[in-house]
């Protein structure tokens, strides 16, 4: 399954669950963490437990290991319908192992602290980790950053891309864009994430889904270029060839193949 867009829905709002599933997002994250106030967490957990079904797989974001709700949330991780568990404030491979031991099918660790960055290689390489997720907002708080812009956050984003590649897991997922009604900013954020090698983005509102889906899917121009490259290479029979004034070598061929494969997956 592709992970271009993952849409959050509050765990205490079951009337929104099915609407989120119908949003067109690649995945839905039922959130027991930030979206649910502390007094409502036990009731939200019970609501989610009742609603879960293998017929409608979702991602479940549980509370972090340093909270009093973590152990009770673990009881949901292996239930039918939980396709993956999103682990907030992931800071060690040992915490990932606890989630997997609770029956999780896969884990999406949120890297949003200095401790998480320091343990990144171990977390990315832990059994069951599917992709890393970048938690830019919480990371800024943890590091004491003040309204950090693209340049300030770039080193941390690239660490996730590198760690994912070295661990042989899927490319990471970018964090949320908080400006719900600012389509231009969202598009800019998506383009940046894709340039850096991210595979998708977290969404906090259904209105963001279409922009994110489109931004992480190969454009018509990209697909046309990829076909020209592969056709030219096939016609050259192994000889050197240029397309659009640029030499075609093995990395270019691989890029063209990836574009067409992504386009096929998105169809």
Question: How confident is the prediction for the chain on average, in pLDDT?
Answer: 93
Return the higher-pLDDT residue of 109 and 220.
109
Average pLDDT over residues 137-141: 95
**Structure confidence at residue 253 (pLDDT):** 84
Q: Which residues of 96-123 are buried (b: 16+ CB within 10 A; e: fewer)?
A: bebbbebebebbbbbbbbeebbebbebb
**Structure confidence at residue 43 (pLDDT):** 97
Query: Which structure tokens are listed for 193?
Result: 């994430």
Q: Is the pLDDT of residue 140 over 90?
A: yes
Neighbours of 202 (CB within 10 A): 25
Average pLDDT over residues 154-172: 97
Q: Which residue has the tokens 């096929």?
A: 264
Which CA distances in Å does 23 have to 1, 33, 40, 52, 211?
Answer: 16, 21, 25, 18, 12
Which CA distances in Å does 62 have to 191, 194, 252?
Answer: 29, 27, 41
**Structure confidence at residue 12 (pLDDT):** 97
- Three-state DSSP class for residue 67: coil
Q: 267 pLDDT band (50/70/90 cuts)?
A: low
**Structure confidence at residue 233 (pLDDT):** 82
Average pLDDT over residues 219-245: 84
**Structure confidence at residue 266 (pLDDT):** 66
**Structure confidence at residue 1 (pLDDT):** 60
- Three-state DSSP class for residue 107: strand
For 38-78, what is each residue's pLDDT tens digit?
999 999 999 999 999 999 999 999 999 999 999 999 999 99
Cβ atoms 133, 110 nearer than 8 A: yes
State phi, psi for 82 to the nearest 5 degrees. -90, 95
Q: Is the pLDDT of residue 241 over 70?
A: yes
């Amino acid at each position: 399954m592709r992970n271009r867009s993952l849409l959050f829905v509050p765990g205490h709002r079951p009337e929104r669950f099915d609407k989120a599933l119908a949003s067109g997002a690649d995945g839905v994250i039922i959130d027991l963490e930030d979206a649910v106030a502390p007094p409502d967490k036990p009731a939200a957990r019970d609501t989610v437990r009742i609603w879960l079904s293998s017929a409608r797989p979702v991602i479940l974001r549980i509370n972090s290991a340093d909270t009093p709700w973590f152990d009770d949330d673990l009881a949901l991780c292996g239930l039918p319908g939980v396709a993956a568990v999103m682990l907030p404030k992931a800071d060690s491979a040992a915490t990932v192992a606890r989630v997997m031991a609770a029956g999780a099918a896969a884990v999406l660790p949120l890297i949003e602290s200095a401790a998480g960055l320091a343990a990144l290689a171990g977390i990315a390489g832990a059994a069951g980790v599917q992709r890393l997720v970048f938690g830019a907002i919480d990371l800024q708080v943890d590091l004491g950053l003040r309204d950090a812009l693209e340049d300030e956050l770039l080193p941390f984003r690239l660490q996730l891309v590198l760690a994912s590649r070295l661990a042989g897991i899927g490319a990471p997922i970018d964090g949320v864009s908080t400006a719900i009604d600012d389509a231009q900013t969202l598009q800019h954020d998506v383009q940046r994430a894709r340039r850096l090698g991210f595979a998708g983005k977290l969404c906090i509102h259904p209105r963001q889904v279409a922009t994110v889906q489109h931004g992480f899917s190969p454009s018509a121009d990209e697909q046309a270029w990829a076909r020209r490259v592969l056709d030219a290479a096939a016609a050259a029979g192994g000889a050197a060839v240029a397309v659009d004034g640029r030499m075609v070598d093995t990395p270019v061929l691989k890029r063209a193949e990836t574009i067409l494969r992504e386009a096929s997956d998105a169809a």
